């Protein structure tokens, strides 16, 4: 009986140490990569990245866009997101340029869908309970789709309507990284 208890304790301690080291070992250090290397990274889900000793949660699963998420902040700051173009987008010269962010007013409406379940925009008019529901769904989801709408004149009706500009998909593998604490903007 004692052997089993000791073995169980050793296993728990080993898994605990392993879990703590996963994030340290899986961080991509942008300071050690060229701009071209950064904007050509491809993976199937979340990754932790470091730039100037600031840790971010990043998703490279879309070949045209990189998604930076700040949703579990070290400091008590508002969650945010940033989407940048990669070098694969159109002419290949947009890598690193911002497409949009949680602070941008470029689009009239942004909608987040996790496996087709709609969450409107959890970053706009932040509500802690609503945002935690979104974060919980992210942990269980397989695909994040972000839809961007413009307010344009409909030529048939002559009225302004929300028109879909584009929808961007990101794969949600490595969801355990959503619990990692990251550095967030002001």
Mean pLDDT of 164-179: 93
Domain boundaries, position 57: 3-179
Q: What does pLDDT average to over the chain?
A: 81
| Residue 153 in this model has a pLDDT that exceeds 90 | no
| Residue 84 in this model has a pLDDT that exceeds 80 | yes
Assess if residue 34 is contained within a domain.
yes
**Residues with Cβ < 8 Å from 123, sequence gap 6 or more?**
78, 79, 80, 81, 102, 131
Going by their DSSP bridges, the two strands 27-29 and 46-51 should be labelled as: parallel
Q: Which pLDDT score is estimated for 3? A: 45
pLDDT class of 49 with cuts at 50, 70, 90: confident
Assess if residue 186 is contained within a domain.
no
Assess if residue 27 is contained within a domain.
yes
CA dihedral 66, 166, 103, 33 (to 10 degrees): 10
- Helix, strand, coil percentages in the chain from 3-state DSSP, rounded to 5: 25, 35, 40
| Residue 25 in this model has a pLDDT that exceeds 80 | no
Number of domains in the chain: 1
Bridge partner list, 163: 150
Assess if residue 184 is contained within a domain.
no
Q: Which pLDDT score is estimated for 147? A: 97
Distance from chain centroid for Cα 13? 30
Assess if residue 185 is contained within a domain.
no
Bridge partner list, 49: 28, 56
């Amino acid at each position: 009986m004692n052997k089993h208890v000791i073995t169980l304790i050793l296993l728990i301690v080993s898994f605990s140490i392993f879990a703590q080291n996963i994030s340290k070992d899986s961080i991509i250090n942008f300071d050690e990569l060229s701009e071209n290397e950064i904007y050509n990274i491809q993976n199937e889900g979340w990754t932790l990245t470091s730039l100037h000793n600031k840790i971010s949660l990043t998703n490279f699963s879309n070949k045209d866009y990189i998604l930076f998420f700040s949703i579990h902040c070290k400091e008590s700051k508002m969650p945010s997101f940033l989407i940048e173009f990669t070098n694969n987008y159109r002419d290949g010269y947009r890598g690193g340029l911002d497409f949009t962010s949680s602070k941008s007013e470029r689009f009239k409406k942004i909608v987040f869908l996790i496996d087709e379940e709609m969450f409107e925009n959890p970053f706009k008019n932040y509500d802690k309970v609503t945002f935690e529901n979104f974060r919980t769904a992210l942990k269980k989801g397989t695909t994040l789709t972000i839809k961007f709408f413009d307010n344009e004149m409909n030529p048939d009706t002559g009225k302004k309507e929300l028109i879909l500009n584009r929808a961007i998909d990101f794969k949600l593998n490595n969801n355990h990284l959503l619990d990692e604490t990251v550095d967030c903007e002001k």
